[in-house]
């Protein structure tokens, strides 16, 4: 069982000037908060944060990391709040505790290869500070070491998460020993038979392997000493999961794995590494193709060493790694080693920045300012945002992506028919920008079709392309449909004759109908060609929004006396009768627009009200109570006794609009309400300002 004094000693070893009082206070607070709680194994709960803190301290992390490790479960598992942690221990520790809590809430759901990298990136993005990851790893390590008491399915889930998420993370952070231990612990849970078989095989060979190890250590030490090289030699057995992976990768049995023992030669200087390599190769025959120079070309996580494999005594293959003390420290402790250097003399600053830069390259960094790197703010470097579908599938989208981008990422059809969404259970619009960890459910309707306005906010090429494609495909179809309806309903003509097609300069009937639908043919000319004068009103219908559009100047709605005007390339615009935007010269047709239409249309309402506190809220409430939503609001004049406002309200037609106006008139502060009409409202607005 770890004790607080051990934690304090471990911190003192690397950070003699640390705030030990705060560590003690953190311990006391955590012990009090967890008082009475026990782990499943029966030991007092405080043993767990204490163990995590000891790991963090032994990694050489700073005092805030250690204090935060002690406090890492108080927000999630006790009545303590984050604000309480902040007021007692300060912003930095609160930020670290919050990070660990948030990372802990990420639920790993899929070991599918494509998704793994997304989970790992999401982990990094959520953590925001590298120290959060180290604390989380220490937390996970202790949980894995004490996993035995949990129910089987829970053990399995945690072990999978550990193998796929946390062990690779330990590797990325360069904490080699932890990666190996996490892998072995997880492997023992996930495949106990294979684990036991390998462990047993090693046990059986142990005496021989140790004899081999000692002999070779001695031979190497003597050879290096003869050449005047100061060196430390470490022989070690491979970890069990490492052997298993090798058996899988090479498709061989345990007995065919020869290099169960690997050696490390640790020397003082970089140049000594290459000298040692020469000595080893002089002693044992190197295996071609196995030499790697990770000193000249470090691994992405900053790892440096020379690797070689040789044929040793008894024809044994052996792996040998050669590195300096500093490289060894980085190889074993990774990020933690760099962190420890941070407070040191600064001699390793360059190395640290090089390393961090590579780390951040992995996190898809571009060129970034130095101070940001200093802050270790991981989220700044993330170019992606990670969100979940309702079923828990993980999606990676570019930063700034919206709900609609997500809908198109799920499926093109989901995008095309998206109406709205629920984000984390809350109603949300399609243009909402997604945040990390959002859970998104798209609400679709068969009646919905893409809108051109969508192009103004979607961020992903996929969504943009799908919307454009849809318009390309549907515009012609829809123009043809509209043209046919015009002929049939307004002119009562079913088919076009050859001569009429020629007159319309069209090769086919379809082309002619498309031209008519797009408004490329003057109505007068059309009636001349058809030889028909009779004009029935045109019936406006929901679902033809591509070529039939509500004009924004007067915004007609179902039930209005409306007229249709063809505008080239834009199709038919619906205006209210008498709209000043429609000039005398333009031809228009009468529109019949019954109120039983299923759609929702925007109407503009102007209000003058006494400028009282809460007046806006009362107006909004009245509109909402009438079953309408407010799409836009403009305050024309706010100062003075009377406020002049314009609301864009979504209604089904004139009846509903009338209800809204009636409700508004009843409000006490409201002195005047009317639906806007271009010429009138301009005059009125001019007078008010
Ligand atoms: Mn914990």
Q: SS3 string of 356-421?
A: HHHHHHHCCCCCCCHHHHHHCEHHHHCCEEEEEECCCCEEEEECCCEHHHHHHHHCHHHHHCEEEE
Task: Return residue ranges of the chain for CATH 3.30.70.260.
Answer: 601-685
Residue 163 DSSP label: I
| Phi then psi dihedrals of residue 308, to 5 deg | -145, 165
Domain with CATH 1.10.3210.10 in the chain: 4-175
CA–centroid distance, 2 to ligand 1, in Å, is 15
For the record, the structure tokens of 98 come out as 């919050």
Of 60-64, 116-120, 356-360, 530-534, where does mean pLDDT reach its minimum? Answer: 356-360
**Residue 578: helix, strand or coil by DSSP?**
coil
pLDDT band at 638 (very low <50, low <70, confident <90, very high): low
**CA 552 / ligand 1 centre spacing (Å):** 58
CA of 150 to the centre of ligand 1 (A): 14
Domain covering 601-685: architecture: 2-Layer Sandwich (3.30)
Contact 399, 379 (CB under 8 A): no
* Centroid of ligand 1 to alpha carbon of 213 (angstroms): 38
Cite the residue boundaries of each domain of the chain with CATH code 3.30.460.10.
193-333
Write down the pLDDT at residue 51.
96
pLDDT of residue 281: 92
Ligand 1 centroid, distance to 199 Cα (angstroms)? 29
Give the model confidence (pLDDT) of 94-146 as tens digits. Answer: 999 998 998 888 777 766 666 676 777 677 767 777 788 889 999 999 999 99
Between the CA of 500 and the centroid of ligand 1 the distance, in Å, is 81
DSSP assignment of 602-654? EEEEEEEEE--TTHHHHHHHHHHHTT-EEEEEEEEE-SSSEEEEEEEEEESSH
276-304 burial, b at 16+ Cβ within 10 Å, e below that, comes to: bbebbeeebebeeeeeeebbeebeebbbb
Q: Do 300 and 361 meet the contact criterion of CB atoms below 8 Å apart?
A: yes
pLDDT average, residue stretch 66-87: 95
Q: What pairs with residue 129 in β-bridges?
A: 377
Q: Which residue has the tokens 């609609």?
A: 404
Under 8 Å between Cβ of 323 and 273: yes
Question: What are the residue numbers of the active site?
Answer: 76-77
Measure the CA–CA gap between 135 and 54, rounded to whole angstroms: 10
Average pLDDT over residues 240-260: 81
At the topology level, CATH places domain 4-175 in Hypothetical protein af1432 (1.10.3210)
Q: How far is the CA of 83 from the centre of ligand 1 (A)?
A: 19
CA 166 / ligand 1 centre spacing (Å): 14
Tell me which residue of 59, 52, 53 sits closest to 14, measured CA to CA. 59
pTM: 0.58
Pairwise CA distance, residues 176 & 627, whole Å:
61
Q: Please, which pLDDT band fits residue 374 given cuts at 50, 70 and 90?
A: very low
Q: How confident is the model at residue 382 (pLDDT cuts 50, 70, 90)?
A: low
Where in 144-273 does DSSP place strands (E)? 232-237, 261-267
- How is residue 419 written in tokens? 């109406």
Ligand 1 mean position to 132 CA, how many Å?
Answer: 12
C-alpha distance across the termini of the chain, in Å: 77
Rounded Cα distance between 40 and 366, Å, is 46
Report CA(345)–ligand 1 centroid distance (Å): 34
Is residue 294 within 8 A of residue 307, CB to CB? The reply is yes
Give the position of tokens 């709209």.
579
Q: What's the 26 CA to ligand 1 centre distance in angstroms? A: 15
Phi first, then psi: give them for residue 582, nearest 5 degrees: -95, 115
SS (H, E, C) 80-94: CCHHHHHHHHCHHHH
For 151, residues 6+ apart whose C-beta sits below 8 A from its C-beta are: none
Around ion ligand 1, residues with a beta carbon closer than 5 Å are 73, 139
The Cα–Cα gap between 55 and 69 comes to 9
| DSSP symbol at 304 | -
Instruction: Please tell me the distance between residue 50's alpha carbon and the centre of ligand 1 in angstroms.
Output: 10
Q: How far is the CA of 61 from the centre of ligand 1 (A)?
A: 18
**Centroid of ligand 1 to alpha carbon of 30 (angstroms):** 12
Asked if residue 622 has pLDDT above 70, the reply is yes
Q: What is the pLDDT of residues 13-71, one digit of tens each?
A: 878 888 999 999 999 999 999 999 988 888 899 999 999 999 999 888 889 999 999 99
User: What are the C-alpha distances in Å from 233 to residues 285, 321, 324, 460?
Assistant: 19, 10, 12, 54
Mean of pLDDT values over 319-346: 68
Q: What is the pLDDT of residues 458-478, one digit of tens each?
A: 998 889 989 988 888 888 888
Q: Please give the biggest Cα pair distance in the chain.
A: 113
| Mean pLDDT, residues 189-207 taken together | 90
Task: Quote the DSSP letter at residue 254.
Answer: G
CA distance 116 to 118: 5
Q: Which residues does residue 262 pair with via DSSP β-bridges, in sequence order?
A: 236, 319
> What tokens appear for 453 in the block?
């306005």
- Give 301 Cα–ligand 1 centroid separation in angstroms: 26
SS3 state of residue 573: strand
Cβ contacts of residue 646 below 8 Å, gap of 6+? Answer: 604, 605, 606, 607, 633, 634, 636, 676, 681
Identify the architecture of domain 193-333 in CATH: 2-Layer Sandwich (3.30)
510 C-alpha vs ligand 1 centroid, how far in Å? 69
Give CA–CA dist 548/482, Å, rounded. 8
Q: If pLDDT is split at 50, 70 and 90, which confidence band does 672 have?
A: very high
Question: Quick check: 417 pLDDT over 90?
Answer: yes
Q: How far apart are CA 393 and CA 277, in angstroms?
A: 49
Q: How confident is the model at residue 637 (pLDDT cuts 50, 70, 90)?
A: low
Ligand 1 center to 64 CA (angstroms): 17
Cα separation, 61 vs 57, in Å, equals 6
Name the nearest CA neighbour of 476 among 564, 548, 546, 417.
546
Q: Please report where in the chains the tokens 């003075």 appear, as a residue.
A: 640
């Amino acid at each position: 069982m770890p004790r607080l004094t051990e934690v304090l000693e471990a911190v003192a070893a690397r950070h003699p000037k640390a705030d030990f009082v705060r560590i003690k206070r953190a311990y006391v607070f955590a012990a009090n908060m967890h008082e009475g709680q026990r782990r499943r194994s029966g030991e007092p709960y405080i043993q767990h944060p204490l163990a995590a803190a000891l790991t963090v301290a032994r990694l050489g992390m700073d005092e805030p990391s250690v204090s935060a490790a002690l406090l890492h479960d108080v927000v999630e598992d006790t009545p303590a709040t984050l604000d309480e942690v902040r007021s007692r221990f300060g912003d930095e520790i609160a930020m670290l505790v919050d990070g660990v809590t948030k990372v802990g809430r990420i639920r790993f759901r899929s070991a599918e290869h494509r998704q793994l990298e997304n989970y790992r990136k999401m982990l990094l993005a959520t953590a925001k500070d590298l120290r959060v990851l180290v604390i989380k790893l220490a937390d996970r390590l202790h949980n894995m070491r004490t996993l035995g008491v949990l129910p089987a399915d829970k053990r399995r889930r945690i072990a999978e998460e550990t193998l796929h998420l946390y062990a690779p993370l330990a590797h990325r952070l360069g904490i080699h020993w932890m990666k190996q231990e996490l892998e072995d612990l997880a492997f023992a849970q996930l495949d106990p038979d294979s684990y036991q078989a390998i462990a047993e095989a090693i046990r059986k060979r142990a005496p021989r392997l140790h004899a081999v190890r000692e002999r070779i250590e001695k031979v190497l030490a003597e050879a290096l000493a003869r050449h005047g090289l100061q060196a430390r030699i470490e022989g070690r057995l491979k970890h069990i999961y490492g052997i298993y992976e090798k058996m899988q990768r090479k498709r061989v049995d345990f007995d065919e794995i020869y290099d169960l023992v690997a050696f490390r030669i640790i020397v003082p200087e970089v140049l000594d590494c290459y000298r040692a390599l020469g000595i080893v190769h002089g002693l044992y025959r190197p295996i071609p193709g196995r030499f790697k120079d990770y000193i000249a070309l470090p691994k992405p996580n900053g790892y440096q060493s020379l690797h070689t494999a040789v044929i040793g005594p008894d024809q044994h293959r052996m792996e040998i790694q050669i590195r300096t003390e500093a490289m060894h420290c980085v190889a074993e402790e990774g990020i933690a080693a760099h962190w420890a250097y941070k407070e040191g003399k600064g001699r390793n600053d360059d190395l640290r920045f090089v390393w961090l830069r590579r780390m951040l390259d992995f996190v898809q960094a571009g060129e970034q300012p130095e101070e940001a790197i200093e802050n270790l703010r991981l989220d700044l470097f993330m170019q992606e945002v990670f969100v979940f579908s309702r079923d828990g599938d993980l999606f990676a989208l570019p930063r700034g992506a919206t709900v609609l981008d997500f809908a198109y990422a799920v499926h093109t059809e989901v995008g095309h028919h998206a109406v709205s969404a629920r984000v984390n259970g809350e109603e949300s619009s399609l243009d909402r920008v997604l945040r990390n960890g959002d859970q998104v459910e798209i609400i679709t309707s068969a009646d919905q079709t893409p809108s051109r306005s969508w192009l103004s906010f979607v961020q992903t090429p996929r969504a943009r392309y799908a919307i454009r494609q849809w318009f390309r495909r549907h515009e012609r179809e829809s123009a043809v449909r509209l043209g046919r309806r015009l002929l049939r309903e307004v002119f009562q003509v079913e088919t076009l004759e050859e001569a009429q097609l020629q007159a319309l300069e069209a090769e086919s009937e379809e082309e002619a109908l498309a031209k008519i639908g797009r408004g490329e043919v003057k109505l007068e000319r059309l009636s001349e060609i058809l030889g028909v004068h009779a004009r029935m009103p045109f019936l406006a219908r929901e679902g033809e929004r591509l070529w039939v559009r509500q004009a924004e100047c007067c915004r007609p709605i179902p039930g209005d006396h409306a007229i249709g005007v063809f505008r080239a390339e834009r199709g038919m615009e619906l205006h209210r009768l008498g709209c000043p935007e429609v000039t005398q010269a333009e031809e228009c047709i009468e529109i019949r627009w019954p109120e039983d239409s299923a759609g929702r249309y925007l109407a503009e309402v102007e209000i003058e009200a006494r400028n009282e506190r809460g007046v806006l809220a009362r107006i909004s409430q009245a509109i909402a109570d009438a079953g309408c939503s407010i799409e836009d609001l403009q305050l024309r004049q706010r100062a003075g006794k009377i406020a002049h406002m314009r609301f864009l309200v979504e209604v089904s037609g004139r009846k509903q609009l009338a209800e809204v106006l009636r409700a508004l008139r009843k409000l006490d502060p409201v002195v005047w309400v009317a639906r806007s009409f271009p010429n009138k409202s301009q005059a009125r607005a001019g007078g008010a300002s």
